[in-house]
C-alpha cells in the first residue's frame, strides 16, 4: 500500500520527536555516569559533560571499600525479595474479590472505598511511627515491609485488569466445579501476567529506592537498606574509623562525584531488571487503567 506524503511527514516527525525524547531521558544518566568517573577538580570546575574528565574510580572505591555497603546491599536484597512477595500476594488477594460484580460480592463497593480512602487521607508521620513501634517490629526487616504491605495503587491497577477478562472464563470454571482459589490461581493469574509484571516492577523500584523509612525505623547503621546507606555515607563520614588509604581516596572524591556514583549504583540494578519486564510494562499499565 502506497503511503501518502502527509503520512511520511507525520511518521518522520514522530521518529524525530521520540528520538529527541529518548535523548532527554538518556543524557542525564550519561552525564551522571561521566561525573562519577571524573576527578574532584574537573567536577568542581564544571568541565564534565558526557565524558569523564580526569578519569578516576575514587568515588566508587570510597563507597565499595566499606563493609557496610555489602551489608546494606544484603538488607536491600532481603527487603526486595520479602517485600515483593508479600506485596504481590496481598495485592492478588485484595484485587480478585474487588474485581467481582456487586451481585457476586455484595459489599464490594464499600470495601473498595475503604481502600481508596487510604490514598486520599493518612494518619500522618507520628501515628505511623507509633503504630510500628507498638507492634514491636522496630529495627527489623518487617518494619520495612509490613507498613506498605498492601499498595492500593497496584490493587486498583490489577482489579481493573481482572475486570477486563472475559466473564465466560469465570463462569465455565464455576460450572466445572472450580472454587475461587482455583479460579484465581489457574485462570486469572496466568492471564494477567502483563499487569502482574507491571506491579512487580513498581514494587521492586519502590522497595529499592526507599530510604526514609530505613533512616527512622532502623536503630543501627548495620540494618540500613542500601538507599539509606548511600544517602548518609557522605553526610555522616566517620573520620575516626578511616584508614590512611581511605583518606587518600577521599582526597580525590568530591560531594558531586560521590553523589553521582551513589545515584548510578542505586539505579543500576533497576536498569538491569527493567528490560526483562519492559515487554509487559506498557500493555499491563494501559489495560489495567482503561476499565473502571
Q: Which three cell numbers stand for residue 148?
A: 506498605
For residues 33, 35, 39 and 40, what is the CA-based torsion angle, rounded to 10 degrees? -140
Section 252-260 average pLDDT = 73
How many other C-beta atoms can be found within 10 angstroms of the C-beta atom of residue 35?
24
Query: Which residues have CB under 8 Å from 259's CB, separation 6+?
Result: 234
What does pTM read for this prediction?
0.76
Using the predicted structure, report yes or no on whether residue 36 has a pLDDT greater than 70: yes
Per residue in 49-105, pLDDT tens?
888 888 888 888 877 777 877 888 899 999 999 999 999 999 999 999 998 888 888
Report the alpha-carbon distance of residue 283 to residue 194 in Å, rounded: 6
Using the predicted structure, report yes or no on whether residue 247 has a pLDDT greater than 60: no
Mean pLDDT of the chain: 82
Residue ranges in the chain assigned as alpha helix (H):
5-36, 40-44, 58-64, 67-98, 108-120, 125-134, 142-145, 152-163, 167-175, 180-183, 189-191, 193-209, 212-217, 226-232, 244-251, 255-287
Q: Which residue has the higher pLDDT, 15 or 66?
A: 15
Per residue in 136-148, pLDDT tens?
999 999 999 999 8
**CATH class of segment(s) 67-232:** mainly alpha
CA distances from 43 to 35, 90, 100, 251 (A): 7, 46, 57, 13
Section 104-129 average pLDDT = 87
CA atoms within 13 A on the CB side of 190: 6
What percentage of residues in the chain have a pLDDT greater than 70?
A: 86
DSSP secondary structure string for all residues of 95-120: HHHHTS-TTTSTTHHHHHHHHHHHHH
Work out the pLDDT band at 236, boundaries 50, 70, 90. Answer: low
- Cα of 198 vs its chain's centroid, Å: 11
- Parse the chain into domains and list their residue ranges: 67-232
Work out the pLDDT band at 240, boundaries 50, 70, 90. Answer: very low
Q: Which three cell numbers stand for residue 111?
A: 470495601
| pLDDT value at residue 94 | 93
Amino acid at each position: 500500500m502506497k503511503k501518502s506524503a502527509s503520512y511520511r511527514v507525520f511518521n518522520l516527525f514522530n521518529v524525530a520527536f521520540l528520538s529527541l525524547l529518548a535523548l532527554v531521558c538518556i543524557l542525564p544518566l550519561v552525564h551522571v555516569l561521566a561525573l562519577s568517573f571524573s576527578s574532584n577538580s574537573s567536577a568542581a570546575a564544571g568541565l564534565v559533560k558526557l565524558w569523564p574528565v580526569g578519569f578516576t574510580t575514587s568515588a566508587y572505591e570510597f563507597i565499595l571499600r566499606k563493609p557496610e555497603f555489602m551489608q546494606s546491599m544484603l538488607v536491600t536484597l532481603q527487603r526486595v525479595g520479602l517485600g515483593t512477595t508479600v506485596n504481590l500476594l496481598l495485592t492478588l488477594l485484595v484485587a480478585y474479590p474487588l474485581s467481582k460484580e456487586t451481585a457476586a460480592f455484595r459489599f464490594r463497593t464499600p470495601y473498595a472505598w475503604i481502600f481508596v480512602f487510604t490514598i486520599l487521607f493518612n494518619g500522618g508521620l507520628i501515628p505511623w511511627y507509633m503504630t510500628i513501634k507498638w507492634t514491636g517490629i522496630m529495627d527489623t526487616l518487617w518494619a520495612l515491609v509490613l507498613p506498605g504491605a498492601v499498595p492500593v495503587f497496584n490493587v486498583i491497577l490489577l482489579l481493573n485488569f481482572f475486570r477486563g477478562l472475559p466473564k465466560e472464563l469465570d463462569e465455565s470454571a464455576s460450572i466445572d466445579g472450580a472454587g475461587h482459589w482455583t479460579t484465581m490461581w489457574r485462570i486469572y493469574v496466568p492471564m494477567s501476567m502483563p499487569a502482574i509484571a507491571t506491579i512487580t516492577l513498581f514494587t521492586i523500584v519502590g522497595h529499592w529506592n526507599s530510604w526514609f523509612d530505613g533512616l527512622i525505623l532502623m536503630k543501627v547503621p548495620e540494618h540500613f537498606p542500601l538507599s539509606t546507606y548511600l544517602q548518609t555515607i557522605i553526610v555522616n563520614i566517620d573520620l575516626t574509623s578511616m584508614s590512611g588509604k581511605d583518606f587518600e581516596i577521599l582526597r580525590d572524591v568530591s560531594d558531586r562525584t560521590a553523589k553521582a556514583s551513589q545515584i548510578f549504583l542505586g539505579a543500576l540494578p533497576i536498569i538491569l531488571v527493567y528490560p526483562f519486564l519492559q515487554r509487559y510494562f506498557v500493555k499491563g499499565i494501559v489495560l489495567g487503567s482503561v476499565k473502571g
